[in-house]
Structure 1
Amino acid sequence: MRAIVYDATGGPEVLRLVDRPVPEPGPGEVRVRLVVSGVNPTDWKSRSGATSGPLAYPEQTPHHDGAGVIDAVGPGAAGFAVGDRVWTFLAAASRAGGTAAEFAVLPVNRVAPLADGASFDVGASLGVPAITAHRALTVAEDGPARLAPGALAGRTVLVAGGAGAVGHAAIQLARWAGGTVIATVSGPAKAALATAAGAHHVVNYREGDPAAAIRALAPDGVDVVAEVALAANLALDLAVIRSRATIASYADNGGASLTLEVRPNLVLNTRLQFLLLYTVGEAALAAAAEDIGAALADGALPVGEEHGLPLVRFGLEATAEAQRAVEAGAVGKVLVDVAPA
């Protein structure tokens, strides 16, 4: 099979295309024939060594997210059969084989059914972004632990960075669950994407008084913030949240450290929730996969520019360029075409 591998951390140039034997699934595992692989910031950060340190395996295939068809089932791999369409998540976490390959062997708790009406592009765009968004929307003290139609009814969600992949998924999932969605963006082009994703209101945080604009839309305050840049946005978040609101921080864009004033947060009973999928726990991952599957079945998670998430495509042999694009801040979702459907 064709696969992308690296045997040392470094720049994109460490990635190389090789031929490797097709792996066989063991107990509790399935083999997925990949059609599309999704690229996330965590992929290039791991490859560079910035977040993962030395390689745990002699050779690593990158990428957590993908979509394809099961073509082999190991002993005891319940719930899946040959021919099932699936999407994957955290495929390369504590494993040598990610989705930048024609085949990947994964435990059954790292694959989920891909609804008949959902394309492989949609499937490969889920994973890290959608599960992160789900977690951000389900950690509030007064909010739901699971998402379903009506679960966020009467609640206002602020999505920081509404044109990003996680922001896009947060908008779609919150809208599907009945919430009122306000997205912040940096300009008109990204405002158009957040609106296309389903945001009820969009605020340009670089113009005027964004706190006043958000407060005008949510006079009682925001219930949940899905936050991509906590250090940069904390003052804005505290200015617009209600008492007992939750700020769910999933990235360190805009700064890796901050100074937190105790008194304003005591007054608000603020819940500041940090989240990282690698350590979030199996129960949270399973709940997210199940709820995302329900949203997929309802057609609530489309991708493409007309749905607020432009697709930027590369071939498998150009995986290094795909990772460069993500590292450079490409707007939309970067996908790697592994093989024809």
Structure 2
Amino acid sequence: MAQVVVFDEFGGADVLRIIDEPISEPGAAELRVKVQAFGINRLDQMMRAGEYPAPIRLPHAHLGVEGTGTVDAVGPGVEDFSIGDDVIITAVPDADTRGTYAEYVNVPANRVIARPDALDAVGAAALWVSYSTAYGALVEKASMRPGDHVLITAASSGLGLAAIQIANQIGAIPLAVTRSPEKTDALLRAGAATVIGPDATDVSEAARTHTGGAGVDIVVDSVMGPGLAQLATAAKMGGTLVTVGWLDPRPASFPMNPLTIYRYASFEHTLDPAAVRRIASFLDAGLRTGALRPTVDRVFPFAEVADAHRHLERGEQMGKVVVAHPSASAA
């Protein structure tokens, strides 16, 4: 038997409970991964609260779209992985039935990559969703180039910090937006060229000031909501807006200025093996040079997974919230 997190109804963090389930054998072309750690994502909270747009199969729904650990068993037809390999799980679109909030999870082998040597289990748990989403939004969709000014909302989140680092790796200029003035120094240390804080009466005006009146080339927005149209005016004419989240659940206002607009979800690339290879190569290069370094805000033990959700919901974190099994300390 092994422990797994489930929920039988939608609601707050209190609906999460840990139960024992049998350990199942991997099927054809699958691996069984002994999970060492996993990141907590806003997507997980939306699923738990009943706010996710896709159906969630209740009762006994699972959670978790990313994780890292070691290969524990190999199913028929798998040739690229062996028992004991350290791996990162890159996509779990059916997380409500086989999520990574567990001690063991069976996943298709083509949704697993080798864990970079530069990362331990906790660092790897903070890497994939944040950095693959930031890479996909900035590089694959927005075609970010050296010298581009990039405005990043919710900049202190795991995704926001990943976007700052990836912009710097490319040679772009990241402008960080935060509602928390106490995070300004940390964002500058993380690589932001400037920080637009809550004292700025108009984010768009502040962004134009920092770009000599031209406007930014790319806006990466995790918030959406009624303020989206105003935020979009920070972009120069013909610029690019990429939305990567919806922290504000209210309907988003539609920008009227001439822009290229993308509504980006990471599954667009993390379910594509060729795109996953590009992402993994890019991240490996950044990790080797030190341009990329996952920021972990806090690590919770598996037994306190509900507290990890509460911590993320308070919005006070700087970086990724991670949950780790005891085995992660030895990884």
**TM-score, normalised to structure 1's length?**
0.84
Q: What's 2:305 paired with?
A: 319
Equivalent AA in structure 1 for residue 322 of structure 2: L
Aligned-pair RMSD on alpha carbons?
Answer: 2.5
Secondary structure of residue in 2 paired with 1:96 = helix
* Displacement of 1:169: 0.9
* Displacement of 1:310: 4.7
Report the CA distance shift for 1:78/1:242 in structure 2 as closer, same or farther (over 3 A): farther
- Within the candidate set 303, 315, 331, 1:329 is matched to 315
* Displacement of 1:138: 2.3
Mapping 1:233-312, distance limit 5 Å = 233-238=228-233, 240-254=234-248, 256-260=250-254, 262=256, 264-265=257-258, 270-278=259-267, 282-283=271-272, 284-285=275-276, 287-303=278-294, 309-312=295-298
* Displacement of 1:54: 5.3
Deviations 1:62-112 (A, max 9, x none): 111222122222222243222222222333635622222111111123222
* Displacement of 1:205: 4.6
Worse-matched range after superposition: 228-237 or 318-327? 228-237
CA contact (8 A) 1:232 1:254 kept: no
Report the CA distance shift for 1:293/1:24 in structure 2 as closer, same or farther (over 3 A): farther
CA contact (8 A) 1:140 1:271 kept: no
Secondary structure of residue in 1 paired with 2:10 = coil
Secondary structure of residue in 1 paired with 2:97 = coil
Q: What's 1:147 paired with?
A: none
Q: What's 1:35 paired with?
A: 36
CA distance, structure 1, for counterparts of residue 79 and residue 163 of structure 2? 30
CA contact (8 A) 1:139 1:246 kept: no
Check if 1:87 corresponds to 2:81. Answer: no
CA distance, structure 1, for counterparts of residue 184 and residue 53 of structure 2? 34
CA distance, structure 1, for counterparts of residue 313 and residue 280 of structure 2? 26
* Displacement of 1:40: 0.8
Task: Extract unaligned runs of 5+ from structure 2.
Answer: none
Q: What's 1:306 paired with?
A: none
* Displacement of 1:19: 1.9
CA distance, structure 2, for counterparts of residue 277 and residue 191 of structure 1? 28
CA distance, structure 2, for counterparts of residue 119 and residue 26 of structure 1? 28
CA distance, structure 2, for counterparts of residue 290 and residue 167 of structure 1? 21
**TM-score, normalised to structure 2's length?**
0.86
Equivalent AA in structure 1 for residue 215 of structure 2: G
* Displacement of 1:278: 4.2
Secondary structure of residue in 2 paired with 1:192 = helix
Aligned pairs, number? 322
Check if 1:155 corresponds to 2:142. Answer: no
